Structure 1
Amino acid sequence: MLKAFELIRPGDLAEAVAAVADGAIPLAGGTDLLVRMKKGIIAPKKIVDLSGLKELREIKEDEENIILGSLVTHGDVVNSELTNKYLSLLVQGCRTVGSPQIRNTGTLGGNIINASPAADSVPPLVALGAKVVLSSVNGEREMKIEEFLVGPGKTLKRPDELLTGIVVKKMKPEERCLYRKLGQRKALAISIASVAVKFGFDPVTKRCTNPAIAFGAVGPVVKRAVELERLLEQRILDQQTIKEISLKAREFCDPISDIRASAEYRREMCCSLLYEALYELTC
């Protein structure tokens, strides 16, 4: 049974931020918060319901970026013309999240704040170099998502801050990308391992530019595999080279063993997922 709490419905973003500064816990989609409350993991005295703040549900663009409000759902990302045109890697990741009900309820902001290494939206966001926008009564600040996530369930969000947006640089038309995920089944599965890959590619020279690789569910946080990216940029990407680079993926993983898979299996799957992605994108 849920313990009694005060529910605050702010009239605007300023009221929401003020409520957070006063100790209220934000409620976005509720797919994680409500589960934790029902299990008795947390028992907040105040909850601020963000659902009425339309500005947090918007997907906008400027000359260089797509700006996503923190209440944008995974389903919104999948269905948006802007994200399909400029952020196809993120669309691929969001398409694998849970069920249609979860995709249409769970939010990008909640997925980020939850800070699960297995979150399907996070490897694409890390590979895309996304930044989070944090608002407080003292103003706003931006931070790269890769720096913002510091451990399972841990971020650099201050107690008085509210995650209000995600800023992602638009992908270029010539860039190729792929998100690959391994779960215990094809749908409704938490990732055992995943990888997001993005780069520019010249099919004549077989060389890539500005590569980005981010693995999910194989370490305490999602981070880019910078050394693998360097190898990709230095080599001609024929099938043998792709195999050699993919086998090195195990060196950049730090997985755990749990009920879903052993650490060694996750390392091997990182190699396989990266090989599949690179082969599909280049061969």
Structure 2
Amino acid sequence: MEDAERRLRDHPKGDVPDVARTKVINDAVEAFQAHGSWPSDLGKRAAKAYATGLEWESELLARELAVTSAELLAYDTRQAFSGDALGHLGTRLDAVLSDAREAGESLDGARTAGAAIKAGGAVVEAWGRLQGLVDDLTNVRSAQWELLLPRLRPGDTVANFDAERGTLRGWRSDGFGEVRGSLDDVPAFVREATRSGRYSETVLLWLASAGTAKVPTSFEDLQDDATAGSLPDAFAGADWVDYSPRVTQIPEPRPAQTYAHSSTPALDDTKPRPAPPKPNAVVSDREAVTVF
């Protein structure tokens, strides 16, 4: 892509065919008005200017297309392999942190270069290894953010692109992209290293001991970590309806009411009519009704 961009920059200035031909014609007309002379080869000169302009324009279009094609190829390649690259960085980070834990075990409590020098021997050697691992950690994180940074596809508008880039910068400024999940247990000095990109032996040792350090596998993976604690509760304030089973008591059946005028049904006409039942209820008096 750099070669294509260089060729486009080096393309000399020129005119498109219509402009080049028009310049020749205008010059001839101006000369005719000033001196009354008319060139006998005007048509040939105008056609030659047009052909030269066409050649210049064709070369320009070809070089512009070469740049656009290279940009599209670079974009598509990056999109296709960024996940694999981030996965490789995650593996590399695990190796760096493993080496840091091993070196940390040999520090004998030293947490500064001065303390390591004072202790001498194996402690100095372990501190030197730790310093090299800080460089490795810095490189891993730098490559991580470069791969996670949204890229503008050639020909697309910049509105959504700029918004995504701003969101990513905000997440990094908050300290996301260093460990899995919440930042509640991440100390301020680690968040500052994430924000600035300047790592130290202290930050490296903390990450090595935390057990949650990671390289996000994609923009969406980082987004999940950054927004996990801010998602709204979809059921907050909802009016719940209790559909749990309820036991309804069956009321005691009311005994049948028998009045003085009640009678026992005669089910067989060949037999004597049964005696009337013993009454257990009284018909209440009607309420008085006043007629106007």
Asked if these proteins are the same fold (TM beyond 0.5), I'd say no
Task: Give the TM-score normalised by structure 1.
Answer: 0.21
Task: Give the TM-score normalised by structure 2.
Answer: 0.20
Give 1 or 2 for the bigger CA radius of gyration: 2
Q: Which has the higher strand share?
A: 1
